[in-house]
Structure 1
Amino acid sequence: MFKKPLGNLKTSAPLRNSERKKLKQRVSSSFSIQNEDSDVLVPEGILSVKFSTHLNELGVAYLAPEGNPLWFTIGKGSEDLIPTVYTLWKSPKLLPFLSTPKAVVPILVGGADLMIPGVVHHTSNLSQGQLVSVCKYERCDGIPTLSSPLAVGRMAVSSDQLVDGGKEKGKAVLVLHTWKDHLWGLGSKEEPPADVPIQTGANTAGSTEDTDESQDQPASVNSVTESLEDLSTNDRRSSGPKDHGNVQSSQNVTYTYTPDEVSTLLYKSLLQALATSLSNLQPSSFPITSTVFNTSHILPSRPNFPSLVLLPSAASGIVVDPREIDIDPREISIKSSSYKSLTAFLKSADKAGLITTKAPSKNSGSSDLFITSVNPKHLDVERHKPYVTLGEVEAKSAKKAKREEMAEKEREREKTGLDVQELWKPHGPSVGVFEAMGASLSNLYSLHEIRELIDAYITSQDLVNKYERAYINLDPTLLSCVSAKSQGKSKKGAEDNAQQEVEFMRRDELMIKIVDKMQSWYGVVAEGKEMVTKKGQIKPIDVTTKVRQGRKACTLITGFEPFHIDADEMSEDLRKVCAGATSVSPIPGRPAGSGMEVLVQGKQGKAVVDYLLGKGVPKKWIEAHDRAGKK
């Protein structure tokens, strides 16, 4: 909600004593806290400031005297108070919470909602729509830790859909505000308190020892972890048997790879690259420097879930689910391997027959090897079992983020853009139908309104065919309209024959016939202005790139006047955007007053379309044509 800067930010003003008392009462009643405790959360000198989000939602933020936002509301006149992360850092158990892995937190900060598979723990008995906080769950040196709340949102589902065997896809929390967003940025931008160790009370091994351990939890962290009392203690990502005496929970153990195991994983990464990206390279792509070879092919081919490819030796002899072993694939690097240097690793691969390398010339001043060829038909490559790579996951995430960004831009453009409506007015043969319907003959109607009037008339006159309900029986009024002679038909007998032959018609066809007999109009509504209607059929703006005067390409724009775009203003804007000459002139070959033509030098079709979209013109009302051909 606050991933973009706040708009219409007014000057903050201190609350009067009476207003502060009311705010304290709202906090006390909404969050069941003592009145004296609310003094910390609603301090003396608290300020209020009005703002709007990038979605044009109105809101009010309440700021501490030092400027940190403590509470906010969304919606005009809303009484629904929502605490900020600054407030939750003062009172971590103010809201029930969910925990999520460290890797998910940057995604939430980027504006995404928390998905169900990303929930590790959660407070019990959560209802849909309930306010919750989101904390980071991480294991540091084998000790599970929990951060202070880093996000605030509303439950998208109830907590019974988060347990094992429940719904495993979809959104868990609709995030409203996060650490590092623009609401947080109004304050001091301080970092959250340090993570604290917790005792999960997990009983995955079927023993009761954890209960005793939880009693030894340090008192200094009780203020943060007291809300764990009602926590759903089982890690949701575990899907294995629950009652194996020799099962060890990976939550309490940190697994790492030995240098030899890292070397094995790097070798598998090279095999993965040879089986995929390197196998498609043309011979002309070589030679490749070792640095580029490593960063472009080997590193992206590292397994995204290393434990599924190679189980750490530390887990040998223990029945453990590999999916529970959380090892960052980025830790698989040359420095962590037994090779220690990229050159040694590549020479080893050369010796194995996977690649061919060449040392740099003595005069080049470079220490990078050159890879001159690869062998994707090597026996090890053919035996290699493919897996999900780190590069694939990162590329998918980047693609999704880009799609969401483009969708957000499109939503903003639609919200602030022009509203173009096609309208029709009763005219000629259709007048009799609208008189029979009891509708005004001077009004302009949209397709939806025309359809509603026709449906109401059909129902009132009981015109649905009893034998074929998809058809409508035509009474004299409808028959007179749909059978009326169109322009261009001159024989009188054709109309009489049509009236004799047509007795019924499909509903959608009847609609088309009636609209065809009406007069076309259109309306364009600019933001903050009333609709301007004009007679005629609106046509898309034409953006055509063609060659003029020999080999000089130019881009011509016509038909923009109905969309409230001034020719001279657009010409000047495009001159700056396209960094080229522009001109305005009457459309050649058309009568005076038919409109203007804006010419932009060069092939600027895309730039012009982007400009028109930025002016609020819907995409469906822009037609781009490239008739310049290739140079």
Structure 2
Amino acid sequence: MFKRPLSNLKTSAPLRSSDRRKLKQRVIATYNVSPEIGDILVPEGLMSRRFATNTNTQGVAYWSPDGDPLWFSLGKDADELIPTVYTLWRKYDLLPCITTPAAVIPVLMGGADLMIPGVVQIPQSQTVVPPQLVAIAQYIKDSPTARGPPLAVGRLAVDLGSLTVGGKGKAVHLLHSWKDCLFNVGSKVDPPGVLVEIQEVGESKEGAEGQAAETEVIGERDEPSAEVQEVGGTDFGEDDADPHVDPVPKHLVQQPRPAPQLSKEGECHLDSCRDVILSRTEVSTILRDAVLQAIRSTAKSLPTASFPIPAGTFYSSYILPYRPASFRRPVPEPGDALSGNDSGASEYPLIDIKHSTYKSLAAFLKILDKQGILTIKDMKPEPLVMSVAASHSEVLSHTPYVSLHDIQLKEEKREKREEEGKARVREMEIKELWKPHAPSGSGRFFLDGGFDSSALYTYAELKATVVKYVTARQLVNAHDQSYVDVSQDEVLHVIVVRKNESDESLEFLKREEVVQRLSEKMQNWYEIRAEGREPLLRKGQLKPISVVAKTRQGRRANTLITGFEPFLLEAETMAEELRRICAGSTGVSPLPGKAARSEVLVQGKQIKAVMDFLLSRGVPKKWIETADLTGKK
């Protein structure tokens, strides 16, 4: 699928908090993981990016803040979320796993599908049917109860029953693997140097003592068969791997570190700060209480049309979220429990079905059905929850507690308040000010009128000064008090006369006109007060921010922004924000002949988006000028 580099890559855009939560819920529901694990698999700061494969298949990929692709979807609908190996290394058991000999791994990395003769172990305790997603890992001959970390993802091509010794054909259609072009977009790290423990042991079909019960051994293979060799198009042995594919790291095969294990009694530390150890029986009690909590608080009000609910959906939506919040555990750092660090293994276990006495979700639901707490219908591939008993005595007597669901709702409300707070940015206070010139200029008017010739005046204060001046000198026209007889006062007459204007022709002016002409003979200043910033007082005339859409380089439309520096906006920061908002490229370039002034360019016709951005930063609308010079409406 990803033999060649991705094409038609679109600009990456960060997911909004609401979209990230929806994506996390999809992962929780699809892969039956806890909300805590969901936060690890769908981290904050996730980026989305559209792409096309070499076969022109359209898709969407989701990148971590560190630049590693974690999930991808294929096709126009893009409904199915497929994990990458980067994600599988965060949670090794996210997908059912099939193992294959070390010699087959380079063939898969070359883009070949996994053939039936190359299969050693298959999932035994899980219901896996074509075309379900499966992971592929390296089979470790010397450690039959463990396997290597996942190295590829694909779709099961045949029923597991067909994967027998001597079988032929394809076992898994490969979608993505370690070292392919999708993987290489990320950090290109080597697989973790750990073995993934198969925790529950039993006897396989081959009768091997101690073989993992959750996998079935199909056959012992030190080297791939002739058909396996034929798949890759190259015959190779132990020392003759495909020269175009990097070999499996030696540390993965020769010097694996043991994966973390549970104790023989199945006990695990749940919260290091509380130093609590829970047995399987206690975990079962917590899960049962979670069902009662869910029915009492939420499930009882579900409309009839909401049923039936698949068992997996009921588990992820109405059991796991309603576990007690008091048992929340710290989120593991990279390299801790999920990545095989022994020291942190016991600090980050899960309260889930696997650690309970029920062993499987179907068995748990059947017990609840017998007790009348809910009713189920036994269906394949999973049971259906048909209804819940809101009036059951145990539901009514259940004492509510603070659940993980309550904590999540509280967190969502907090995020919403923060987003609303950011949207309610206080508008900047902008004052235009005027200062008298030297006594030979407008300063003479202020000195003769007895006003402060060194002060800064607002337009309203300037108007009040003119009114006081003309009233004291009786310059108001007797027939129309809105006019001032400027010819009767030599100082005022000199100031209000403009260039190329005859002194004799200027006798009367409206009071507003006198104020306007006086301001023209004064120095321009401005003051800007923004929330959380020191007041800014500068000399000069403040001009509005210019937002202009122009056509450049043929038919390409771009939006140009200039004059934003006086409004406490930085070019690089603004370009970065607009790149995210407009999902397009941006650039910053200096304006010729203007020191410390820049121009921000946004790809496309983005006048409205830029306008909304400036308003969200507190710039008053009157100080934004827009123009569309593209010739298109």
> TM-score, structure 1 length as denominator?
0.34
Structure having the larger proportion of residues in helix: 1
Structure with more contact order per residue of length (Cα contacts < 8 Å, sep ≥ 6): 2
> TM-score, structure 2 length as denominator?
0.34
